Amino acid sequence: MPAFQEYFDPSHQMVRDSVRRFVEREVLPDIDAWEEAESFPRELYLKAGAAGILGIGYPEALGGSHEGDLFAKVAASEELMRCGSGGLVAGLGSLDIGLPPIVKWARPEVRDRVVPQVLSGHKISALAVTEPGGGSDVANLQTRAVRDGDFYRVSGSKTFITSGVRADFYTVAVRTGAPGFGGISLLLIEKGTPGFTVGRQLKKMGWWASDTAELFFDDCRVPVGNLIGAENMGFACIMGNFQSERLALALMANMTAQLALEESLKWAREREAFGKPIGKFQVIKHRLAEMATALEVSREFTYRQAAKMAAGQSVIKEISMAKNFATDTSDRITTEAVQILGGLGYMRESLVERLYRDNRILSIGGGTREVMNEIIAKQMGL
Ligand SMILES: Cc1cc2nc3c(=O)[nH]c(=O)nc-3n(C[C@H](O)[C@H](O)[C@H](O)COP(=O)(O)OP(=O)(O)OC[C@H]3O[C@@H](n4cnc5c(N)ncnc54)[C@H](O)[C@@H]3O)c2cc1C
């Protein structure tokens, strides 16, 4: 990949090299088997923790490194995606949506107990916002938390939660107040709390290596000290968290497209039809040129928004645009890649088959394409 020196410095290259070595050593040899098994060993969290990968972007005092260095995170995310399994990256990376609210808004004693255990890979963090009744309309969520002395009594359910089966710490969006966005709070709910049960691992189109589950709360007693941020201020915390999740999903889409393009180029040079490599047919050559063009534009726009975020600018509109542009691009490039590989592109033995399936979630998770367009339109004053 090109160097993009405008965004990345030598320290980011070191992060990139170290994550790439980790992926080559610890993930690539087994990833096909883990995908088929729809799981990867829990030990991988410990290995990624020990290699310092899980801690990138978090405060040193909590066991992290490169705090505030967004492009270190970008470099690490891109290299992790080189394993070719969005599911593994989503599963290993569920801490990046579960932990930030805890780092920023939990009580110090909760934060100091929870965060280091997750960054070292000993415990797993998940974020639970979506409910069976709907995910897009966050302000309308129904899981109730009623104050009872030093506890909240939580009742309701969540669904489609990444790392839902094996997480230890769940950052859960609940309703503590009136209907609408002003009645929502975030609570840390721990595995093993009476009244909290986890459903089966859901079967999915893609992201096979990640576990995705339903969560059930039946009069679950959660200590008041586990409140994250102020009561009824959870909506703003959730929306803030979405900004970095949307950047991460745009980066995933760009890397999915990058891998699909690389596989297509390789095949276009190797595969012969009618006496010449298929890459010599103008229709294929132009398709590859257009795929590369769309990807470069998408990547550049995504990096630009990351740079603005790193500089502290508000990019609510632009990050939604980046997510939509990147996922439109990866939709197109993964579809074209399957076409260029022909029958092989449909076979489980080819990487593009997995990229095509894994890609489909990227314009749904973290806010759908339609929800992104709603945000963009609102920011345009519509
Ligand atoms: C593999 C996977 C992993 C996930 N991981 C997590 C996780 O870790 N934590 C978590 O909380 N959630 C997670 N989700 C849930 C995900 O965020 C939701 O699926 C997503 O937000 C959409 O919600 P929904 O599925 O309920 O669809 P709905 O909200 O029911 O939407 C259905 C359709 O209606 C459209 N729609 C809704 N509102 C509007 C509107 N105003 N205008 C136009 N169209 C609209 C949507 O765009 C969509 O096309 C995950 C989902 C999947 C599939």
Q: CB atoms < 10 A from the CB of 52, how many?
A: 19
Between the CA of 232 and the centroid of ligand 1 the distance, in Å, is 23
Strand 196-201 with 212-223, pairing: antiparallel
Q: Measured from the CA of 207, which atom of ligand 1 is nearest?
A: 1
CB atoms within 10 A of CB 155: 16
| Stretch 95-108: mean pLDDT | 98
5 compared with 316, residue with greater pLDDT = 316
pLDDT digits (tens, 9 = 90+) for 165-194: 999 999 999 999 999 999 999 999 999 999
Residues with CB under 6 A from ligand 1: 126-130, 134-136, 160-162, 204, 207, 212, 361, 364-368, 370-371, 374
Q: How confident is residue 3, by pLDDT bands cut at 50, 70 and 90?
A: very low
Residue 68, sorted as left (phi over 0), alpha (psi -120 to 50) or beta, turns out to be left
The rounded Å distance from CA 147 to ligand 1 centre is 29
Pocket-testing residue among 169, 364, 369, ligand 1, by greatest number of atoms within 8 A of Cβ: 364
Q: Could you tell me the distance, in angstroms and rounded to a whole number, from the CA of residue 223 to the centre of ligand 1?
A: 29
pLDDT at 354: 98
Kindly state the percentage of the chain with pLDDT values over 70.
Answer: 99
Q: Which atom of ligand 1 is nearest to the CA of 366?
A: 17
Nearest to 354 by CA among 338, 332, 375: 338
Taking residues 42-56, report their average pLDDT. Answer: 98
Q: Please write the tens of the pLDDT for every residue from 339-364.
A: 999 999 999 999 999 999 999 999 99
Q: What is the pLDDT of residue 186?
A: 98
What is the DSSP pairing of strand 125-128 with strand 169-175?
parallel
Residues assigned a catalytic role: 245
Q: Terminal CA-to-CA distance of the chain, rounded, Å? A: 39
> Quick one: pLDDT band at residue 241, thresholds 50, 70, 90?
very high
pLDDT digits (tens, 9 = 90+) for 316-347: 999 999 999 999 999 999 999 999 999 999 99
136-149 per-position pLDDT tens digit: 999 999 999 999 99
Position 197 pLDDT exceeds 90: yes
pLDDT value for 6: 84
Q: Please state the atom number of ligand 1 nearest to the C-alpha of residue 163.
A: 8
CA 160 – ligand 1 centroid, Å: 9
Q: Which of ligand 1's atoms lies nearest the C-alpha of 137?
A: 29
Q: What is the pLDDT of residue 269?
A: 98
pLDDT of residue 1: 46
Q: Which pLDDT score is estimated for 5?
A: 65
If you measure from the C-alpha of residue 315 to the centroid of ligand 1, how many angstroms do you get, rounded to a whole number? 22
Residue-wise pLDDT for 66-91, tens only, equals 999 999 999 999 999 999 999 999 99
Q: Directed axis angle between helix 234-270 and helix 70-81, to 10°?
A: 50
User: What is the DSSP track for 200-267?
Assistant: EEPP-SS-TTS-EEEEEEEEEEEEGGGEESSTT-HHHHHHHHHHHHHHHHHHHHHHHHHHHHHHHHHH
pLDDT at 281 over 60: yes
